Structure 1
């Protein structure tokens, strides 16, 4: 911790309590973010496994669909112009929804069919069975493509969320918590030093008071001793013997 950071914080009991509360909050936040990162990582790995399986399956599905297309063309001829003339709107559509994973919204795509089959009468003359098989194969391929697109989008979203969460976890663990702990240690050391200085000051005050009292006692004892010696001196008998107002030398003062 730098001297500038230490100077900015006054070492008091109130600041110590506040910094301990901040330290506890930082540790709690670190724990929660760590759990969030773990949950996102588990889901990330699960999606990665599904992506690998979907890509491996995609090759076989597309191969079967292409082979079915070749069979249909061989049996029924080229019916592409008929299909293009009947196309008015998409029958298979994709909609999006959100799925919450540990506070992160990831997009999920799902396909659905809107309307009836526009090509149900196509191939009645010849090649109907091959055409029906072709539609089923490509419908399966479209469904797999939509699922793969959903997994890929979720994969990218989770990857970015995991990076951000891990940066926050590392920042709290290696920057914020050590800085707060250093601040708490600094405040505690300053307060302990202040307590030691206060104890030393009080001890010195008590010592000076004791010395002053001792000097005062010595002075009083000296004064009492001086008074006692003065009382035994014949030249200062007046300190010892009270005067009689009826003495002859004072008679003229009484009746003057």
Structure 2
């Protein structure tokens, strides 16, 4: 029996019952939070799976177009080197049940083609568009995977706290309430027996006194 070291008084009984109610409420809230986070992470895991598949397919398409462009145009390194460096990414966050999840905002700006059409063909254009798509998908995947990691950490932490309440704190308060209630009940029985004895002794004495007075 996991009983707290407390004096069995009515005040402590009331206080312990209140703590038990708060612990039960805390467990209910943590359990609800855990379930919401689990649903959120399951949705994101499925989304990450779809994104990885899309990235893989788009990469294959992009490299196939690059291969065809190389075959028809020769070396295309100069065209790749003229592509602008990406700087249109902004980071923010959102809160899900108190868990801060990243939001990666990709500001897509119109791209100016940095090569002439006279010496290129459609394969290079299609490769360029495919790699642009890969970039957008990769940004989204980074956001999703980081969110999955943060949610998994939060779920484990929430689970530990819920387990502590369910397996340690709530049973301890429950046993303590029973201990105090049983102790008070035993004390009441002892007090009742004591008063009954006192009353019997008093009644006997009064009876004896009345008998002596009649003599």
Of 102, 124, 127, 1:134 maps to 127
Q: How is 1:114-133 mapped onto 2 (pairs within 5 angstroms)?
A: 117=111, 120-133=113-126
2:103 matched residue in structure 1: 108
**Hey, what's the Cα distance between the residues in 2 that align with 1:44 and 1:70?**
38
Once the two structures are overlaid, the 10-residue window that deviates more, 144-153 or 36-45, is 144-153
Write the deviation string for residues 112-131 of structure 1: whole angstroms up to 9, x where unpaired: 236x636x131333114333
RMSD in angstroms over aligned alpha carbons?
1.9
Of 30, 53, 58, 1:61 maps to 58
TM-score (norm 1): 0.78
Contact 1:111 1:143 (C-alpha < 8 Å) held by counterparts: yes
1:176 aligns with 2:150: no
**Hey, what's the Cα distance between the residues in 2 that align with 1:74 and 1:11?**
90
1:78 matched residue in structure 2: 75
Of 14, 34, 37, 2:34 maps to 37
Write the deviation string for residues 158-196 of structure 1: whole angstroms up to 9, x where unpaired: 111111111111111111111100000000000000100
**Hey, what's the Cα distance between the residues in 1 that align with 2:66 and 2:8?**
80
Contact 2:79 2:114 (C-alpha < 8 Å) held by counterparts: no
**Hey, what's the Cα distance between the residues in 2 that align with 1:35 and 1:169?**
10
Aligned residues: 215
Once the two structures are overlaid, the 10-residue window that deviates more, 192-201 or 129-138, is 129-138
Contact 2:34 2:159 (C-alpha < 8 Å) held by counterparts: yes
- Higher RCO (Cα < 8 Å, 6 or more apart): 2
Of 7, 14, 26, 1:17 maps to 14
**Hey, what's the Cα distance between the residues in 1 that align with 2:46 and 2:197?**
75
SS of the counterpart of 1:113?
coil
Contact 2:104 2:143 (C-alpha < 8 Å) held by counterparts: yes
1:153 matched residue in structure 2: 146
Structure number, greater radius of gyration: 1
Q: Give 1:92 deviation, angstroms.
A: 4.7
2:197 matched residue in structure 1: 204
Q: Give 1:95 deviation, angstroms.
A: 1.9
